[in-house]
Amino acid sequence: MWRKEEKSLTLGAVFKSPYTAQVDRITDSTSEMFFLGASTGAIAVRERDHFEVDYPMSVGVGPGLRFNDALSFSTDIIWTDRSEYKQKNTDTDEMSYPLGGRANDTLAVKCGTEYLLFEQKTIIPLRGGLFYDTRPSQDDPVDVYGFSLGSGITFKRFSIDGAYQFRWVNDVDGRDFGLEGVHFDLTEHLFLTSIIVCF
């Protein structure tokens, strides 16, 4: 027998503080020398750099509404201070930005709903969501849109869930991927599954 829940409204918030990560990067390269068309040998070079990467803070807030014991809705809004995303080479004190320049702040808005089908010994969830996100770029932030669908089945000690997500982005700047002078549209399909066993 499932426990019924009354209608309720909740509000959640999250704060992710900025932090600095220490990064060691090792680059191995090989150059082959030629003289009059014949190889004279190869030269191997290893370079090691140490970076401090400043990751930005983010703040989020989200209301949730449980309409009854079967139907619920939720929304999340997250802002990230991308302008503070930068790195410093501790060997040369050179400051740079991983995206090629100071990035603009980003905003993400996500909405979702879940409806539960109560059977005698199982629960079957039906889930769906929409989202809008801004991905940092060397130019202005790129608008990302998407939706997701999911379902599964839950027994007393076992549950399995699956989900599908589709994202699309228009007019992506190729410089973000090392492709100078190129713009393109991007679509992404993502399938997820999970299994939970309670002991």
**Structural domain range at position 88:** 8-19+57-197
User: Is 186 inside any structural domain?
Assistant: yes
Provide the residue count of the chain.
Answer: 199
Q: How many domains does the chain have?
A: 1
- pLDDT at position 5, please? 55
User: Is 32 inside any structural domain?
Assistant: no
User: Is 81 inside any structural domain?
Assistant: yes
Q: Tell me if residue 59 falls in helix, strand or coil.
A: strand
User: Is 44 inside any structural domain?
Assistant: no
User: Is 46 inside any structural domain?
Assistant: no
pLDDT digits (tens, 9 = 90+) for 137-168: 766 778 899 999 999 999 988 899 999 999 99
User: Is 38 inside any structural domain?
Assistant: no
The whole-model pTM stands at 0.69
* Kind of pairing between the strands at 86-89 and 123-135: unpaired
User: Is 48 inside any structural domain?
Assistant: no
pLDDT digits (tens, 9 = 90+) for 95-114: 766 666 667 888 999 999 99
How far apart, in Å, are the Cα atoms of 189 and each of 96, 109, 163, 167, 184? 33, 19, 11, 7, 17
